[in-house]
Amino acid sequence: MKFIHAADLHLDSPFLGLQNHTIPRDLWDKIRNSTFTSFERIVNDAIEQNVDFVLLVGDLFDRNDHSVHAETFLVQQLNRLNDHQIPVLISFGNHDYFSGRVNQLGYPENTYVFSNKVATTTLLLKDGQRVAVSGFSFGSQWIKDPIIQDYPQASDADWNIGMLHGSLATVNSPEANYAPFNLNQLQEKGYDYWALGHIHKRQSLNPQKTINYSGNTQGRHINESGEKGYLMVEAVQHALKPKFVATAPIIWQTIHIEFNGESVGELPETIFSHLASLNFYKLNFLRVVLDSHI
Ligand SMILES: [Mn+2]
């Protein structure tokens, strides 16, 4: 059994921070397409690797008023997965909260969208195994209630998975607005895997790496640095093991360069020779910080 855990696609993100810069048209097109490109690569991998299902854990869209472009694109990609009979489970998050009727979305039949109440859907895999997936969609921008309490205990399915867009939170922190939970509450459910969304930095919350944020699929500014993509989660005996796969076409990162008494005129050479030595293999947006050791 293997599946894709992705979250925070933020399709059609406007990259507002770059809007006031003079950027050549073809480069700007690459930037504006990057959230789409990353997701298309995820779907390519799902098909090539013949995964059992795909989980999309919230913030598929950057804004609640989904652009026509983003909505059309999502349907196209869901249709590609539908053509290969790969189920897709979607729970909307705080950026794309949804309180309408899920059957009005017009998604293909492989796609299951969680409503605003916690529910469990059971997938029957080709090898006969049953996978119970529990989740919910945000119905408004903020959810202060600890909705984790509504998740059921693990069932007798072969695998139990939770999808949850939200954050670890202490009471009264700003993050308490996003379906707050604590680690114990997740662990007490007895699930084999928690697919989390909302936090854009990829991370595991437990040493077994079965409670994970996949991070977003394309960084949108310098504070969302490094490789971005999805987690390929695979069954190894009776444990689920995640492996990160990079799909973002653009990487943001901060580079520190030391300078040692060069004149201003010599600095460009110091900077460019350092950057050349890094052998970039994809498009990088860099913040260069000069560190003085004088
Ligand atoms: Mn997000």
Query: Is residue 171 over pLDDT 60?
Result: no
Domain(s) labelled CATH 3.60.21.10 in the chain stretch across 2-248
Asked whether 288 and 222 are in contact (CB, 8 A), the reply is no
CATH architecture of 2-248: 4-Layer Sandwich (3.60)
Segment 177-200 shows an average pLDDT of: 93
Distance 226 CA to ligand 1 centre (A): 16
Query: What percent of the chain stands above pLDDT 90?
Result: 73
Residues having C-beta closer than 5 Å to ion ligand 1: 8, 59
| CA distance linking residue 91 with residue 154, whole number of Å | 19
Q: State the pLDDT at residue 60.
A: 94
Give me ligand 1 centre to Cα 217, in Å: 10
Out of 83-87, 91-95, 123-127, 174-178, pick the least confident.
174-178
Contact 211, 186 (CB under 8 A): yes
Q: Ligand 1 centre from 101 Cα, in Å?
A: 22
Among residues 110, 95, 139, the alpha carbon closest in space to that of 46 is found at: 110
Average pLDDT, the chain: 92
User: Region 156-163: what's the mean pLDDT?
Assistant: 98
Cα(199) to centroid(ligand 1), Å: 6
Give 134's contacts (C-beta < 8 A, 6+ positions apart): 118, 119, 120, 151, 152, 160, 161, 162, 163, 191
Sign of CA dihedral 4, 6, 12, 16: negative
